[in-house]
Amino acid sequence: MKSIIVLISGRGSNLGAILRAGLQAQVAAVISNRPDAAGLALARAADIATAVLDHREFDSREAFDAALAERIDTHVPALVVLAGFMRVLTAGFVDRYRGRMINIHPSLLPAFTGLDTHRRALDAGVRIHGCTVHFVTSDLDGGPIIAQAAVPVLPGDDEAALAARVLEQEHRLYPQAIRWFLEGRLTLAPNGRAQLAGAAEGAQSLINPLPDPAGV
Ligand code: GAR
């Protein structure tokens, strides 16, 4: 059975969704850069090996990333899954896992890279927001897009309400993308695009606010 490694920094709700998804893969280890990451407890409760590599104990990004790679490689994973792993990674680390490391980001990339995506979406007044799964490259939040889920931004939404609506979709989208990868259907093509074989295309359109029924 193929194995995957999940890297986290915090809550671990995406990790939870991955664990619940019944994937045909073993989560060989969950690694956190923060000792207090709540997601570590989720992993332990599921009898999954955990490791903490506290980035504050390393002199440089290079040293941290080298230690992290060494830890990951002991498991020979098919895929490295960043699930709320809040670290900027060195080019060397990213290149090592090219085509076999993915991330989920809480916006419809390329909009709202970086932090505070939900607040920034509200400030910008967008009507549609969402999340993106992408291959990781050294272009921060800019790697080839695999899949996206969109949600409406509703009147009265605050950051928490919007984040919760997006998170629900993250929990659907991320396990699906991992499943595609494990099935060998998802690859990073030589042209730099994510390539997905045999997926049903043509999701329903999302128009928000809804058009008047008689108006179109
Ligand atoms: C998720 O919303 C994920 O999209 C985001 O962190 C959260 C982690 O939640 N990731 C990023 O912002 C990466 N740039 P979780 O720990 O409950 O899965």
Probe ligand 1: pick from 32, 40, 104, 129, max atoms within 8 Å of CB? 104
Q: Which of 97, 106, 51 is nearest to 77 (CA)?
A: 97
In degrees and rounded to multiples of 5, residue 112 shows phi and psi of: 55, 55
Averaged pLDDT in 10-residue chunks for the chain of 216 residues: 97 98 96 98 98 97 98 98 97 98 98 98 98 96 97 98 98 98 97 94 89 78
SS3 66: helix
**Domains defined for the chain, CATH in brackets:** 1-97 (3.40.50.170), 104-132+150-196+206-216 (3.40.50.170)
Give the pLDDT of residue 216.
57
User: Is 105 among the residues known to form the active site?
Assistant: yes
Q: Give the burial class of 55: count Cβ atoms within 10 A of its Cβ; 0-12 exposed, 13-18 middle, 19 or more buried.
A: middle
Catalytic residue chosen out of the listed positions 105, 118, 129, 134:
105
Q: Are 107 and 132 in contact, with CB atoms under 8 Å apart?
A: yes
Element (H, E) at 14: helix 13-20
Query: How many whole angstroms from its chain centre is CA 130?
Result: 12
Predicted confidence at residue 202, as pLDDT, reads 77
Q: Which two tokens stand for residue 44?
A: 């332990």
Nearest to 208 by CA among 136, 149, 138, 150: 150
Residue 98 half-sphere exposure, CB side, CA atoms within 13 Å?
Answer: 12
Q: Would the pTM of this model clear 0.85, i.e. be above it? A: yes
What is the distance between the alpha carbons of residues 131 and 106, in angstroms, rounded to a whole number? 4
| Helical ranges in 115-185 per DSSP H | 117-124, 159-182
**Ligand 1 mean position, distance from CA 183 (Å):** 24
Please tell me the predicted confidence (pLDDT) of residue 167: 98
Instruction: Ligand 1: list residues with CB < 6 Å.
Output: 8, 10-14, 39, 83-84, 104-106, 131, 167, 170
Q: Tokens in use for 81?
A: 């899954």
Give pLDDT, residue 201.
84
Radius of gyration of the chain (CA): 18
